[in-house]
């Protein structure tokens, strides 16, 4: 009986922890990290310098990791669509931001007369989409488009993008365990994805 009484405070504490609300998602910090990492995407070397200066670490994840598979499938799809394009690899970068493990992927494609570069920040374990109101306040403008065809997902799109010289910006969410449509069905994509992209025309 004495032992049981002694354990009561521990049981109450455990129950209290179970009932505690989860920590709010650090949207402000993650959005700031995205803006810093992807601000120089007009030129891949500039983008690489930006993420390095902001404390991101360049990594080579295992081939079977989710982020490596996402990158590989994207490159394969681009190569199949147009075998003549040159794929520009700016690397995979990782950083812990407010307790969240984030990955930045810098990449691009070059073809005759045009070069397109993109910067994507992933929080693959994010539990929910960011509120449209919060995104509107952060971007200081309404998105041009919102909505998604995947159940439980969300997509917000801006043009111009993160900066006036960027062509577009997209912030999307895919629920954990969601079934993606073809040809993306085999990609282990989930969580929040922040995308900035720019296009340069060289032969007009």
SS3 labels along 87-129: EEEEEEEEEEECCEEEEEEEEEEEECCEEEEEEEEEECCCCCC
Q: What is the mean pLDDT, run by run of 10 residues, along the chain of 204 residues?
A: 42 46 88 93 90 95 93 82 79 97 92 84 95 92 81 89 85 86 76 92 62
Residue 21 placed within a domain? no
Residue 66 placed within a domain? yes
Residue 8 placed within a domain? no
How many structural domains are present in the chain? 1
Residue 1 placed within a domain? no
H or E element, residue 138: helix 132-139
Question: Could you identify the residue written with the tokens 């681009």?
Answer: 78
What confidence score (pLDDT) does residue 156 get?
94
What confidence score (pLDDT) does residue 203 get?
57
pTM for the whole thing? 0.84
Q: Which domain covers residue 46, as residue numbers?
A: 26-201
What's the order of all strands across the beta sheet hosting 191-201? 57-59, 86-97, 100-111, 114-123, 191-201, 168-174, 154-158, 145-146
Q: Which residues contact 196 (CB under 8 A, 6 or more apart)?
A: 34, 38, 39, 41, 118, 119, 120, 161, 162, 163, 166, 168, 169
Residue 4 placed within a domain? no
What confidence score (pLDDT) does residue 10 get?
42
Residue 122 placed within a domain? yes
Structure tokens at 156: 């917000």
41, 198 Cβ separation under 8 angstroms: yes
Question: Could you identify the residue written with the tokens 């954990």?
Answer: 176
Residue 126 placed within a domain? yes
120, 109 Cβ separation under 8 angstroms: no
What confidence score (pLDDT) does residue 113 get?
73
What confidence score (pLDDT) does residue 20 get?
53
Residue 10 placed within a domain? no
Cα first-last separation, the chain = 86
What confidence score (pLDDT) does residue 171 get?
95
What confidence score (pLDDT) does residue 57 get?
97
């Amino acid at each position: 009986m004495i032992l049981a009484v002694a354990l009561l405070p521990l049981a109450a504490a455990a129950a209290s922890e179970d009932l505690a609300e989860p920590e709010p998602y650090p949207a402000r910090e993650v959005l700031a990290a995205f803006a810093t990492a992807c601000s120089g995407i007009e030129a891949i070397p500039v983008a690489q310098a930006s993420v390095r200066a902001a404390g991101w670490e360049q990594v080579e994840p295992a081939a079977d990791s989710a982020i490596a598979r996402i990158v590989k499938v994207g490159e394969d799809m681009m190569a199949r669509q147009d075998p003549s394009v040159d794929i520009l690899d700016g690397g995979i970068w990782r950083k812990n931001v407010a307790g969240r493990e984030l990955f930045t992927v810098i990449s691009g494609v070059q073809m005759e007369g045009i070069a397109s570069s993109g910067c994507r920040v992933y929080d693959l374990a994010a539990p929910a989409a960011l509120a449209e109101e919060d995104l509107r306040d952060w971007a200081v403008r309404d998105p041009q488009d919102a909505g998604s065809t995947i159940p439980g997902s969300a997509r917000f799109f801006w043009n111009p993008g993160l900066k006036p010289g960027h062509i577009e910006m997209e912030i999307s969410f895919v629920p954990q365990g969601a079934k993606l449509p073809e040809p993306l069905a085999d990609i282990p994509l989930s969580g929040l994805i922040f995308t900035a992209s720019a296009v340069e025309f060289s032969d007009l």
